[in-house]
């Protein structure tokens, strides 16, 4: 179905707002700059979003929904795999390369920076991002444990271990250093995470 004019304008405003909020943070963001970047009038921005707070919330929520979809897609079908090592390596590689993308790191920084002002949004970010990813992975680990392919009496803890083995160093560095890791280094973190994880959790 062809997107209507109003929907196109709304999407353009959200895309522009994301750029502006990532560039300046919440406090420094200007509705005038959002309107100019979206190529709409300021009145049109306020027609779709009552104020800057609402626009910020809607922008972050849209990215949260996208993160939910990515999280589900990455781990789907893991319990049916014939190549557990290969699929775990693929999951770890996707996890570490996606989460450390500069625009997602910047978005995380903005949400953390505004957590006092928008505590519900910060909690939603965590619940729909890291927590949801852990839960989806835990569901697959639980099934693998039932099949005798993993020794994971606490599947959720196993999922948290898996994610943190892959992400802890590169994500922490990315939060404080804008210089991105070389891709081969990111993949090495992912592959080593799988090796260490299976050393602990494979029967």
Secondary structure (DSSP) of 68-84: HHHHHHHHTTGGG-S-H
Going by C-alpha positions, the residue among 185, 184, 159 that lies closest to residue 91 is 159
pLDDT of residue 12: 94
Q: 5-35: per-residue pLDDT in tens? A: 888 999 999 999 999 999 998 889 999 999 9
Global confidence as pTM = 0.83
CA atoms within 13 Å, Cβ hemisphere of 66: 10
Q: Which residue has the higher pLDDT, 55 or 64?
A: 55
pLDDT of residue 1: 41
Report all structural domains of the chain as residue ranges with CATH numbers, in order of start.
Answer: 1-49 (1.10.10.60), 59-201 (1.10.357.10)
**Which DSSP category does 59 fall into?**
H
52-75 vs 119-126: helix axis angle to the nearest 10? 10
Q: Which two tokens stand for residue 7?
A: 């929907």
**Which DSSP category does 149 fall into?**
S
């Amino acid at each position: 179905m062809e997107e209507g004019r109003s929907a196109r304008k709304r999407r353009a405003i959200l895309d522009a707002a994301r750029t502006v909020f990532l560039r300046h943070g919440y406090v420094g963001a200007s509705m005038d700059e959002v309107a100019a970047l979206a190529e709409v009038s300021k009145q049109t921005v306020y027609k779709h979003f009552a104020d800057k707070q609402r626009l910020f919330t809607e922008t972050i929520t849209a990215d949260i929904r996208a993160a939910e979809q990515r999280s589900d897609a990455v781990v789907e079908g893991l319990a049916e795999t014939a190549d557990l090592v290969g699929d775990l390596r693929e999951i770890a590689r996707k996890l570490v390369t996606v989460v450390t993308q500069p625009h997602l790191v910047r978005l995380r920084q903005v949400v953390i920076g505004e957590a006092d002002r928008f505590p519900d949004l910060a909690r939603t970010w965590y619940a729909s991002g890291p927590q949801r990813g852990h839960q989806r992975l835990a569901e697959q680990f639980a099934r693998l444990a039932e099949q005798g392919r993993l020794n994971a009496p606490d599947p959720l803890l196993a999922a948290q271990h898996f994610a943190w083995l892959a992400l802890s160093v590169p994500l922490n560095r990315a939060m404080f250093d804008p210089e991105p890791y070389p891709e081969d280094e990111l993949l090495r973190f992912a592959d080593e995470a799988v090796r260490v994880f299976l050393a602990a959790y494979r029967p």
